[in-house]
Amino acid sequence: MESGERLYRASANAHFSGGIGDTVRTCLGMKRYDSGSMRIALKKLSPDAVLPEYAHGPAEDAGMDLRSIASVILAPGVPQAIPTGIAIALPAGYEAQVRPRSGLALKHAITLPNSPATIDPGYRGEIRVILLNLGSAEYRIEKGDRIAQLVIAKYEAVEWEERELNETARGAGGFGSSGR
């Protein structure tokens, strides 16, 4: 294992037998979850990086907070990639989804234009979050601010089978086909 690289836990299946208080331990100031968790390798690329963590634990939160390692001014209408200072190594069959924070969206009109963003299992570079200010005034991101949520999700590999499709009641009805 490289210097500075450690294994940290991210919840894949939040199942706790004795309640959250019985399963959470603190190790070096970081929350650790013993039951229903998977191990994902994470590397800090900057001493300012903060590990993704659940605000309320994996029994209550699907997403872990991602934090900025830079102070950045978001001008209205100009997307910017905000650095987090971390890289991860997901196992095959898993993706990390980067999603907007609801508070930033509601209070400041800050969103992710490619939401949810996908981090593939083969990617080993820095996780950077593309933020877009939909408001009319500049918004300042400070170093250490929570800027997005990270959700680890399983996916299935597919093979396409070209053939005729079966009939359904909906058929080809798309946008607005179910009414208002």
Task: State the residue for tokens 């659940």.
Answer: 54
Q: For domain 5-154, give the CATH superfamily.
A: Deoxyuridine triphosphatase (dUTPase) (2.70.40.10)
Q: How confident is the model at residue 35 (pLDDT cuts 50, 70, 90)?
A: low
| Edge-first strand listing for the sheet containing 5-11 | 5-11, 37-44, 86-89
Burial of 154 (0-12, 13-18, 19+ CB in 10 A): exposed
What average pLDDT does the segment 137-148 reach?
A: 98
pLDDT tens readout for residues 117-142:
999 999 999 999 999 999 999 999 99
Sign of CA dihedral 36, 89, 50, 66: negative
Buried b (16+ CB within 10 A) or exposed e, 4-24: eeeebbbbbebebeeeeeebb
Residue 29, CA atoms < 13 Å, CB-side half-sphere: 3
- Mean pLDDT, the chain, rounded, equals 85
Q: How confident is the model at residue 63 (pLDDT cuts 50, 70, 90)?
A: very high
Cα angle vertex 111, ends 65, 8, to 5°?
20
Instruction: Name the range with the highest mean pLDDT among 21-25, 72-76, 167-171.
Output: 72-76
What average pLDDT does the segment 111-116 reach?
A: 96
Distance from first CA to last CA of the chain, Å, rounded? 55
What average pLDDT does the segment 58-81 reach?
A: 97
pLDDT tens readout for residues 72-84:
999 999 999 999 9
